[in-house]
Structure 1
Amino acid sequence: MPCALCGDIIPTEVARCPACGAWARRRDFRAIGIAVFMLLGFNAFIALGSGISLLRLIEPLNGATHDSYDAATTGHQLAPYGDVFLICGIMAMITGLLYMAWLWRAYRQSAGPHRHRQAWVVFGFVVPVVNLWLPPRLVYDVWVNSGRYRTAQRHAVGLLVTCWWACALLGIVLARLFSGSSVNTLADARLSVHLGVAAAAFQALAAALCMANVFQITRLQIRTCA
Protein backbone atom coordinates (compact mmCIF):
# COMPACT_ATOMS: atom_id res chain seq x y z
CA MET A 1 0.00 0.00 0.00
CA PRO A 2 1.17 3.61 -0.52
CA CYS A 3 2.82 5.50 2.33
CA ALA A 4 0.69 8.27 3.85
CA LEU A 5 3.73 10.56 4.02
CA CYS A 6 5.82 10.13 0.88
CA GLY A 7 3.60 8.00 -1.38
CA ASP A 8 6.18 5.25 -1.84
CA ILE A 9 4.82 1.67 -2.01
CA ILE A 10 5.22 -0.23 1.28
CA PRO A 11 5.59 -4.03 0.94
CA THR A 12 3.06 -6.00 2.95
CA GLU A 13 5.76 -7.89 4.86
CA VAL A 14 7.34 -4.76 6.41
CA ALA A 15 5.95 -2.34 8.98
CA ARG A 16 7.94 0.76 7.95
CA CYS A 17 8.09 2.70 4.71
CA PRO A 18 11.45 1.92 3.03
CA ALA A 19 11.73 5.52 1.80
CA CYS A 20 10.84 7.68 4.82
CA GLY A 21 10.61 5.17 7.69
CA ALA A 22 7.01 5.95 8.64
CA TRP A 23 5.04 3.26 10.48
CA ALA A 24 2.51 2.00 7.94
CA ARG A 25 0.16 0.21 10.30
CA ARG A 26 0.15 3.02 12.83
CA ARG A 27 -0.72 5.66 10.25
CA ASP A 28 -3.38 3.47 8.67
CA PHE A 29 -4.99 2.86 12.07
CA ARG A 30 -4.85 6.57 12.89
CA ALA A 31 -6.51 7.43 9.58
CA ILE A 32 -9.42 5.08 10.37
CA GLY A 33 -9.70 6.55 13.86
CA ILE A 34 -9.81 10.09 12.50
CA ALA A 35 -12.49 9.14 9.96
CA VAL A 36 -14.67 7.55 12.67
CA PHE A 37 -14.11 10.54 14.97
CA MET A 38 -15.17 13.01 12.27
CA LEU A 39 -18.27 11.02 11.33
CA LEU A 40 -19.30 10.80 14.97
CA GLY A 41 -18.86 14.55 15.29
CA PHE A 42 -21.11 15.09 12.28
CA ASN A 43 -23.75 12.78 13.78
CA ALA A 44 -23.59 14.64 17.09
CA PHE A 45 -23.91 17.98 15.30
CA ILE A 46 -27.02 16.88 13.35
CA ALA A 47 -28.69 15.41 16.45
CA LEU A 48 -27.92 18.48 18.55
CA GLY A 49 -29.27 20.81 15.87
CA SER A 50 -32.47 18.76 15.63
CA GLY A 51 -32.97 18.88 19.39
CA ILE A 52 -32.46 22.65 19.56
CA SER A 53 -34.88 23.15 16.68
CA LEU A 54 -37.50 20.96 18.36
CA LEU A 55 -37.14 22.94 21.58
CA ARG A 56 -38.56 25.97 19.78
CA LEU A 57 -41.88 24.15 19.35
CA ILE A 58 -42.38 23.57 23.07
CA GLU A 59 -43.25 27.19 23.95
CA PRO A 60 -46.03 27.60 21.32
CA LEU A 61 -47.56 24.29 22.41
CA ASN A 62 -47.42 25.25 26.07
CA GLY A 63 -49.26 28.47 25.25
CA ALA A 64 -51.90 26.73 23.14
CA THR A 65 -55.30 25.58 24.36
CA HIS A 66 -57.53 22.73 23.26
CA ASP A 67 -59.64 25.20 21.28
CA SER A 68 -56.73 26.96 19.54
CA TYR A 69 -54.67 23.82 18.85
CA ASP A 70 -54.34 22.88 15.17
CA ALA A 71 -53.32 19.23 14.71
CA ALA A 72 -52.73 19.58 10.95
CA THR A 73 -50.29 22.47 11.38
CA THR A 74 -48.41 20.73 14.19
CA GLY A 75 -48.17 17.53 12.17
CA HIS A 76 -46.80 19.48 9.23
CA GLN A 77 -44.17 21.07 11.52
CA LEU A 78 -43.07 17.76 13.05
CA ALA A 79 -43.01 15.69 9.85
CA PRO A 80 -39.52 16.84 8.72
CA TYR A 81 -38.01 15.73 12.04
CA GLY A 82 -39.05 12.15 11.33
CA ASP A 83 -37.03 12.37 8.12
CA VAL A 84 -34.11 13.85 10.05
CA PHE A 85 -34.12 10.94 12.50
CA LEU A 86 -34.26 8.54 9.57
CA ILE A 87 -31.21 10.21 8.03
CA CYS A 88 -29.47 10.10 11.42
CA GLY A 89 -30.17 6.37 11.56
CA ILE A 90 -28.65 5.82 8.13
CA MET A 91 -25.61 7.89 9.07
CA ALA A 92 -25.29 5.93 12.31
CA MET A 93 -25.24 2.64 10.37
CA ILE A 94 -22.53 3.94 8.03
CA THR A 95 -20.53 5.21 10.99
CA GLY A 96 -21.10 1.91 12.79
CA LEU A 97 -19.58 -0.09 9.93
CA LEU A 98 -16.45 2.05 9.98
CA TYR A 99 -16.43 1.91 13.78
CA MET A 100 -16.43 -1.91 13.68
CA ALA A 101 -13.48 -1.84 11.23
CA TRP A 102 -11.64 0.47 13.62
CA LEU A 103 -12.54 -1.65 16.68
CA TRP A 104 -11.37 -4.81 14.86
CA ARG A 105 -7.93 -3.24 14.41
CA ALA A 106 -7.91 -1.89 17.95
CA TYR A 107 -8.82 -5.33 19.37
CA ARG A 108 -6.01 -6.99 17.45
CA GLN A 109 -3.45 -4.41 18.60
CA SER A 110 -4.48 -4.36 22.28
CA ALA A 111 -2.46 -6.50 24.68
CA GLY A 112 -5.29 -8.51 26.25
CA PRO A 113 -6.58 -10.56 27.93
CA HIS A 114 -9.98 -10.36 26.25
CA ARG A 115 -13.17 -11.93 27.56
CA HIS A 116 -14.51 -12.51 24.05
CA ARG A 117 -13.02 -13.62 20.75
CA GLN A 118 -12.29 -11.12 17.99
CA ALA A 119 -15.19 -12.38 15.87
CA TRP A 120 -17.57 -10.90 18.42
CA VAL A 121 -16.41 -7.43 17.36
CA VAL A 122 -18.73 -7.98 14.38
CA PHE A 123 -21.27 -10.45 15.76
CA GLY A 124 -21.66 -8.51 19.00
CA PHE A 125 -23.19 -5.57 17.11
CA VAL A 126 -25.46 -7.52 14.75
CA VAL A 127 -26.78 -10.50 16.75
CA PRO A 128 -30.13 -9.58 18.38
CA VAL A 129 -30.26 -9.47 22.19
CA VAL A 130 -26.48 -9.98 22.36
CA ASN A 131 -26.01 -6.50 20.87
CA LEU A 132 -27.81 -5.01 23.88
CA TRP A 133 -24.97 -5.78 26.30
CA LEU A 134 -21.86 -7.12 24.52
CA PRO A 135 -20.53 -4.05 22.59
CA PRO A 136 -19.66 -1.99 25.69
CA ARG A 137 -17.84 -4.99 27.19
CA LEU A 138 -15.74 -5.32 24.03
CA VAL A 139 -14.90 -1.62 23.97
CA TYR A 140 -14.05 -1.66 27.68
CA ASP A 141 -11.64 -4.58 27.25
CA VAL A 142 -9.91 -2.92 24.30
CA TRP A 143 -9.65 0.40 26.13
CA VAL A 144 -8.18 -0.87 29.42
CA ASN A 145 -5.86 -3.29 27.60
CA SER A 146 -4.47 -0.48 25.46
CA GLY A 147 -2.89 1.28 28.44
CA ARG A 148 -2.01 0.93 32.10
CA TYR A 149 -4.94 1.81 34.34
CA ARG A 150 -5.44 1.68 38.08
CA THR A 151 -8.62 0.27 39.59
CA ALA A 152 -10.30 3.67 39.94
CA GLN A 153 -9.42 4.54 36.36
CA ARG A 154 -10.86 1.24 35.14
CA HIS A 155 -14.10 2.04 36.93
CA ALA A 156 -14.19 5.46 35.27
CA VAL A 157 -13.64 3.88 31.85
CA GLY A 158 -16.38 1.35 32.55
CA LEU A 159 -18.80 4.10 33.59
CA LEU A 160 -18.10 6.15 30.47
CA VAL A 161 -18.51 3.15 28.15
CA THR A 162 -21.74 2.10 29.90
CA CYS A 163 -23.15 5.63 29.63
CA TRP A 164 -22.25 5.70 25.93
CA TRP A 165 -24.10 2.49 25.13
CA ALA A 166 -27.07 3.33 27.34
CA CYS A 167 -27.44 6.72 25.61
CA ALA A 168 -27.19 5.06 22.19
CA LEU A 169 -29.93 2.55 23.01
CA LEU A 170 -32.17 5.20 24.56
CA GLY A 171 -31.67 7.44 21.53
CA ILE A 172 -32.76 4.64 19.20
CA VAL A 173 -35.82 3.72 21.28
CA LEU A 174 -36.96 7.33 21.74
CA ALA A 175 -36.50 8.09 18.03
CA ARG A 176 -38.72 5.11 17.16
CA LEU A 177 -41.34 6.28 19.67
CA PHE A 178 -41.21 9.79 18.20
CA SER A 179 -41.70 8.45 14.66
CA GLY A 180 -44.74 6.45 15.76
CA SER A 181 -46.30 9.15 17.94
CA SER A 182 -49.43 11.10 16.99
CA VAL A 183 -50.44 14.77 17.20
CA ASN A 184 -54.19 14.30 17.29
CA THR A 185 -54.52 16.12 20.60
CA LEU A 186 -52.54 18.85 22.31
CA ALA A 187 -51.26 16.38 24.92
CA ASP A 188 -50.09 14.00 22.19
CA ALA A 189 -48.27 16.83 20.41
CA ARG A 190 -46.48 17.89 23.57
CA LEU A 191 -45.43 14.30 24.25
CA SER A 192 -44.16 13.92 20.67
CA VAL A 193 -42.03 17.05 20.91
CA HIS A 194 -40.55 15.98 24.25
CA LEU A 195 -39.79 12.52 22.84
CA GLY A 196 -38.03 14.12 19.87
CA VAL A 197 -35.97 16.42 22.08
CA ALA A 198 -34.98 13.54 24.37
CA ALA A 199 -34.07 11.32 21.40
CA ALA A 200 -31.90 14.02 19.85
CA ALA A 201 -30.21 14.74 23.18
CA PHE A 202 -29.37 11.09 23.84
CA GLN A 203 -28.12 10.59 20.28
CA ALA A 204 -25.86 13.64 20.50
CA LEU A 205 -24.53 12.54 23.90
CA ALA A 206 -23.93 8.99 22.66
CA ALA A 207 -21.97 10.29 19.66
CA ALA A 208 -19.90 12.57 21.90
CA LEU A 209 -19.09 9.75 24.35
CA CYS A 210 -18.19 7.46 21.45
CA MET A 211 -15.85 10.15 20.15
CA ALA A 212 -14.12 10.06 23.55
CA ASN A 213 -13.50 6.30 23.45
CA VAL A 214 -12.30 6.43 19.82
CA PHE A 215 -9.92 9.29 20.60
CA GLN A 216 -8.48 7.73 23.76
CA ILE A 217 -8.03 4.21 22.39
CA THR A 218 -6.46 5.50 19.15
CA ARG A 219 -4.13 7.80 21.11
CA LEU A 220 -3.04 5.02 23.47
CA GLN A 221 -2.36 2.53 20.70
CA ILE A 222 -0.47 4.99 18.50
CA ARG A 223 1.68 5.94 21.48
CA THR A 224 2.36 2.28 22.19
CA CYS A 225 3.47 1.70 18.58
CA ALA A 226 5.66 4.81 18.51
Structure 2
Amino acid sequence: MPCALCGDIIPTEVARCPACGAWARRRDFRAIGVAVFMLLGFNAFIALGSGISLLRLDRPLAELTRDGYDAGATGRALAPYADVFTVSAVLAGITGVLYLAWLWRAYRQASGPRPYRSGWVVLGWVVPVINLWLPPRIVHDLWISSGRFSSAGRHAVGAVVTVWWASVLAAIGLAQAFPGGVASLAEARFSVHLGVAATACQALAAALCMVTVFQITRLQVGRPLAA
Protein backbone atom coordinates (compact mmCIF):
# COMPACT_ATOMS: atom_id res chain seq x y z
CA MET A 1 0.00 0.00 0.00
CA PRO A 2 1.22 3.59 -0.58
CA CYS A 3 2.48 5.56 2.40
CA ALA A 4 0.10 8.37 3.38
CA LEU A 5 3.05 10.61 4.22
CA CYS A 6 5.52 10.21 1.36
CA GLY A 7 3.71 8.05 -1.23
CA ASP A 8 6.29 5.26 -1.28
CA ILE A 9 4.96 1.71 -1.71
CA ILE A 10 5.07 -0.25 1.56
CA PRO A 11 4.87 -4.06 1.65
CA THR A 12 1.93 -5.31 3.73
CA GLU A 13 4.20 -7.26 6.08
CA VAL A 14 6.27 -4.15 6.93
CA ALA A 15 5.18 -2.00 9.88
CA ARG A 16 7.15 1.11 8.89
CA CYS A 17 7.64 2.94 5.61
CA PRO A 18 11.19 2.24 4.34
CA ALA A 19 11.43 5.77 2.89
CA CYS A 20 10.13 8.06 5.68
CA GLY A 21 9.80 5.70 8.64
CA ALA A 22 6.06 6.32 9.20
CA TRP A 23 4.34 3.70 11.33
CA ALA A 24 1.34 1.78 9.98
CA ARG A 25 -0.75 3.07 12.86
CA ARG A 26 -0.14 6.60 11.68
CA ARG A 27 -0.96 5.74 8.08
CA ASP A 28 -4.26 4.17 9.11
CA PHE A 29 -5.15 7.14 11.29
CA ARG A 30 -4.53 9.58 8.47
CA ALA A 31 -6.66 7.46 6.11
CA ILE A 32 -9.59 7.66 8.56
CA GLY A 33 -9.09 11.42 8.87
CA VAL A 34 -9.17 11.85 5.10
CA ALA A 35 -12.38 9.80 4.85
CA VAL A 36 -14.08 11.88 7.57
CA PHE A 37 -12.87 15.10 5.93
CA MET A 38 -14.36 14.11 2.57
CA LEU A 39 -17.71 13.04 4.07
CA LEU A 40 -17.96 16.32 5.95
CA GLY A 41 -17.29 18.16 2.72
CA PHE A 42 -20.12 16.25 1.07
CA ASN A 43 -22.42 17.20 3.96
CA ALA A 44 -21.46 20.86 3.56
CA PHE A 45 -22.01 20.70 -0.20
CA ILE A 46 -25.53 19.26 0.15
CA ALA A 47 -26.48 21.81 2.81
CA LEU A 48 -25.13 24.70 0.75
CA GLY A 49 -26.96 23.54 -2.37
CA SER A 50 -30.22 23.18 -0.45
CA GLY A 51 -29.86 26.68 0.99
CA ILE A 52 -29.25 28.23 -2.42
CA SER A 53 -32.26 26.39 -3.83
CA LEU A 54 -34.45 27.63 -0.98
CA LEU A 55 -33.30 31.19 -1.57
CA ARG A 56 -34.74 30.97 -5.09
CA LEU A 57 -38.17 30.42 -3.56
CA ASP A 58 -37.89 33.51 -1.39
CA ARG A 59 -38.13 36.05 -4.21
CA PRO A 60 -41.38 34.72 -5.75
CA LEU A 61 -42.95 34.61 -2.28
CA ALA A 62 -41.80 38.16 -1.57
CA GLU A 63 -43.57 39.37 -4.73
CA LEU A 64 -46.84 37.59 -3.97
CA THR A 65 -49.84 39.17 -2.31
CA ARG A 66 -52.31 37.48 -0.01
CA ASP A 67 -54.88 37.31 -2.77
CA GLY A 68 -52.49 35.59 -5.19
CA TYR A 69 -51.04 33.13 -2.68
CA ASP A 70 -51.60 29.42 -3.37
CA ALA A 71 -51.01 27.37 -0.21
CA GLY A 72 -51.21 24.05 -2.06
CA ALA A 73 -48.57 24.95 -4.62
CA THR A 74 -46.27 26.37 -1.95
CA GLY A 75 -46.66 23.26 0.19
CA ARG A 76 -45.75 21.05 -2.75
CA ALA A 77 -42.71 23.23 -3.47
CA LEU A 78 -41.46 23.01 0.12
CA ALA A 79 -42.23 19.31 0.69
CA PRO A 80 -39.06 17.99 -1.01
CA TYR A 81 -36.90 20.03 1.35
CA ALA A 82 -38.26 18.08 4.30
CA ASP A 83 -36.97 14.97 2.52
CA VAL A 84 -33.64 16.69 1.96
CA PHE A 85 -33.33 17.36 5.69
CA THR A 86 -34.11 13.70 6.36
CA VAL A 87 -31.43 12.56 3.90
CA SER A 88 -29.01 15.05 5.43
CA ALA A 89 -29.73 13.63 8.89
CA VAL A 90 -29.03 10.08 7.68
CA LEU A 91 -25.81 11.19 6.00
CA ALA A 92 -24.80 13.09 9.12
CA GLY A 93 -25.38 9.93 11.15
CA ILE A 94 -23.12 7.90 8.87
CA THR A 95 -20.49 10.62 8.98
CA GLY A 96 -20.85 10.79 12.77
CA VAL A 97 -20.06 7.09 13.21
CA LEU A 98 -16.82 7.42 11.26
CA TYR A 99 -16.07 10.72 13.02
CA LEU A 100 -16.39 9.03 16.41
CA ALA A 101 -13.99 6.30 15.28
CA TRP A 102 -11.51 8.98 14.24
CA LEU A 103 -12.04 10.97 17.45
CA TRP A 104 -11.57 7.85 19.61
CA ARG A 105 -8.30 7.06 17.86
CA ALA A 106 -7.07 10.64 18.03
CA TYR A 107 -7.92 10.97 21.72
CA ARG A 108 -6.22 7.73 22.73
CA GLN A 109 -2.98 8.61 20.93
CA ALA A 110 -2.85 12.29 21.96
CA SER A 111 0.50 13.17 23.49
CA GLY A 112 -0.85 15.77 25.92
CA PRO A 113 -2.95 15.33 29.09
CA ARG A 114 -6.34 13.66 28.72
CA PRO A 115 -8.69 14.92 31.45
CA TYR A 116 -11.50 12.51 30.50
CA ARG A 117 -11.57 8.74 30.17
CA SER A 118 -11.63 7.41 26.61
CA GLY A 119 -15.17 6.10 27.08
CA TRP A 120 -16.50 9.65 27.33
CA VAL A 121 -15.37 10.29 23.76
CA VAL A 122 -18.41 8.23 22.72
CA LEU A 123 -20.67 8.49 25.76
CA GLY A 124 -20.38 12.26 25.77
CA TRP A 125 -22.43 12.39 22.56
CA VAL A 126 -25.34 10.24 23.78
CA VAL A 127 -25.80 11.03 27.49
CA PRO A 128 -28.49 13.72 27.85
CA VAL A 129 -27.42 17.14 29.14
CA ILE A 130 -23.78 16.09 29.12
CA ASN A 131 -23.92 15.92 25.32
CA LEU A 132 -24.64 19.64 25.25
CA TRP A 133 -21.18 20.64 26.51
CA LEU A 134 -18.79 17.67 26.69
CA PRO A 135 -18.19 16.96 22.94
CA PRO A 136 -16.81 20.43 22.13
CA ARG A 137 -14.72 20.32 25.31
CA ILE A 138 -13.15 17.03 24.27
CA VAL A 139 -12.43 18.32 20.75
CA HIS A 140 -10.92 21.52 22.16
CA ASP A 141 -8.68 19.69 24.64
CA LEU A 142 -7.66 17.18 21.97
CA TRP A 143 -6.72 19.92 19.52
CA ILE A 144 -4.69 21.80 22.14
CA SER A 145 -2.92 18.64 23.35
CA SER A 146 -2.03 17.62 19.80
CA GLY A 147 0.31 20.58 19.25
CA ARG A 148 2.02 23.55 20.82
CA PHE A 149 0.05 26.77 20.80
CA SER A 150 0.64 30.31 21.92
CA SER A 151 -1.98 32.12 23.98
CA ALA A 152 -3.45 33.62 20.80
CA GLY A 153 -3.47 30.20 19.17
CA ARG A 154 -5.40 28.71 22.07
CA HIS A 155 -7.98 31.47 21.83
CA ALA A 156 -8.30 30.86 18.08
CA VAL A 157 -8.85 27.14 18.68
CA GLY A 158 -11.47 27.93 21.31
CA ALA A 159 -13.26 30.31 18.94
CA VAL A 160 -13.39 27.76 16.11
CA VAL A 161 -14.69 25.01 18.39
CA THR A 162 -17.27 27.31 20.00
CA VAL A 163 -18.67 28.51 16.67
CA TRP A 164 -18.65 24.94 15.34
CA TRP A 165 -20.66 23.60 18.28
CA ALA A 166 -23.08 26.54 18.27
CA SER A 167 -23.67 25.85 14.56
CA VAL A 168 -24.29 22.15 15.25
CA LEU A 169 -26.90 22.88 17.93
CA ALA A 170 -28.55 25.57 15.82
CA ALA A 171 -28.66 23.31 12.75
CA ILE A 172 -30.30 20.50 14.74
CA GLY A 173 -32.90 22.81 16.24
CA LEU A 174 -33.75 24.58 13.01
CA ALA A 175 -33.94 21.36 10.99
CA GLN A 176 -36.36 19.87 13.53
CA ALA A 177 -38.57 22.95 13.21
CA PHE A 178 -38.74 22.72 9.39
CA PRO A 179 -41.11 22.64 7.57
CA GLY A 180 -43.34 25.27 9.11
CA GLY A 181 -46.88 26.03 8.17
CA VAL A 182 -47.84 27.18 4.69
CA ALA A 183 -51.47 28.05 5.36
CA SER A 184 -50.70 31.73 4.96
CA LEU A 185 -48.18 33.73 2.98
CA ALA A 186 -46.45 34.86 6.18
CA GLU A 187 -46.05 31.25 7.34
CA ALA A 188 -44.61 30.22 3.97
CA ARG A 189 -42.07 33.02 4.04
CA PHE A 190 -41.10 32.04 7.58
CA SER A 191 -40.66 28.40 6.51
CA VAL A 192 -38.33 29.41 3.69
CA HIS A 193 -36.28 31.67 5.97
CA LEU A 194 -36.13 28.90 8.57
CA GLY A 195 -34.90 26.42 5.96
CA VAL A 196 -32.23 28.80 4.70
CA ALA A 197 -31.00 29.38 8.25
CA ALA A 198 -30.93 25.63 8.93
CA THR A 199 -28.92 24.82 5.81
CA ALA A 200 -26.52 27.70 6.49
CA CYS A 201 -25.86 26.38 9.99
CA GLN A 202 -25.40 22.85 8.63
CA ALA A 203 -22.90 24.01 6.03
CA LEU A 204 -20.98 26.11 8.57
CA ALA A 205 -20.91 23.28 11.12
CA ALA A 206 -19.61 20.79 8.54
CA ALA A 207 -16.98 23.23 7.26
CA LEU A 208 -15.68 24.05 10.74
CA CYS A 209 -15.65 20.36 11.65
CA MET A 210 -13.50 19.81 8.55
CA VAL A 211 -11.06 22.36 9.97
CA THR A 212 -10.82 20.53 13.31
CA VAL A 213 -10.36 17.12 11.67
CA PHE A 214 -7.71 18.42 9.28
CA GLN A 215 -5.73 20.30 11.92
CA ILE A 216 -5.80 17.56 14.57
CA THR A 217 -4.89 14.88 12.04
CA ARG A 218 -2.05 17.02 10.66
CA LEU A 219 -0.65 17.71 14.11
CA GLN A 220 -0.80 14.10 15.25
CA VAL A 221 0.63 12.69 12.04
CA GLY A 222 3.49 15.17 12.16
CA ARG A 223 4.75 14.18 15.61
CA PRO A 224 5.62 10.89 17.35
CA LEU A 225 2.62 8.92 18.52
CA ALA A 226 1.95 8.61 22.23
CA ALA A 227 2.60 5.21 23.72
| Deviation per residue, 1:182-217 (Å, 9 max, x gap) | 101000000000000000000000000000000000
Q: Which residue in 2 is equivalent to 1:222?
A: 221
Change (3 A) 1:7 1:67: farther
Alpha-carbon separation, structure 2, partners of 1:19 and 1:205: 39
8 Å CA contact 1:8–1:19 kept in 2: the answer is no
Alpha-carbon separation, structure 1, partners of 2:178 and 2:97: 25
TM-score, scaled relative to structure 2: 0.92
2:195 is the counterpart of 1:203 = no
Q: Which residue in 1 is equivalent to 2:33?
A: 33
Q: CA deviation at 1:225?
A: 3.0
Segments of 5+ residues of structure 1 without an aligned counterpart are: none
2:186 is the counterpart of 1:187 = yes
In structure 2, what residue type is equivalent to 1:157?
A: V
Alpha-carbon separation, structure 2, partners of 1:198 and 1:165: 16
8 Å CA contact 1:8–1:17 kept in 2: the answer is no
Alpha-carbon separation, structure 1, partners of 2:61 and 2:154: 45
Alpha-carbon separation, structure 2, partners of 1:196 and 1:44: 15
| Deviation per residue, 1:151-192 (Å, 9 max, x gap) | 12111101100110110110010011113x110100000000
Change (3 A) 1:171 1:20: closer
Matches within 5 A, 1:49-68: 49-68=49-68
Q: Which residue in 2 is equivalent to 1:212?
A: 211
Alpha-carbon separation, structure 2, partners of 1:171 and 1:46: 14
SS of 1:115's partner is coil
Q: CA deviation at 1:45?
A: 0.1
Q: CA deviation at 1:150?
A: 1.2
Q: Which residue in 1 is equivalent to 2:103?
A: 103
Q: CA deviation at 1:109?
A: 1.4
8 Å CA contact 2:136–2:161 kept in 1: the answer is yes
8 Å CA contact 1:3–1:9 kept in 2: the answer is no
Q: CA deviation at 1:106?
A: 0.7
2:10 is the counterpart of 1:6 = yes
Alpha-carbon separation, structure 1, partners of 2:11 and 2:178: 49
SS of 1:67's partner is coil
Alignment RMSD: 1.8
SS of 2:178's partner is helix
Segments of 5+ residues of structure 2 without an aligned counterpart are: 4-8
Matches within 5 A, 1:115-134: 115-134=115-134
Alpha-carbon separation, structure 2, partners of 1:134 and 1:196: 28
Q: Which runs of 4+ in 1 moved over 2 A?
A: 2-7, 15-22
In structure 1, what residue type is equivalent to 2:209?
A: C
Matches within 5 A, 1:119-198: 119-179=119-179, 181-198=180-197
> How many residue pairs align between the two structures?
220
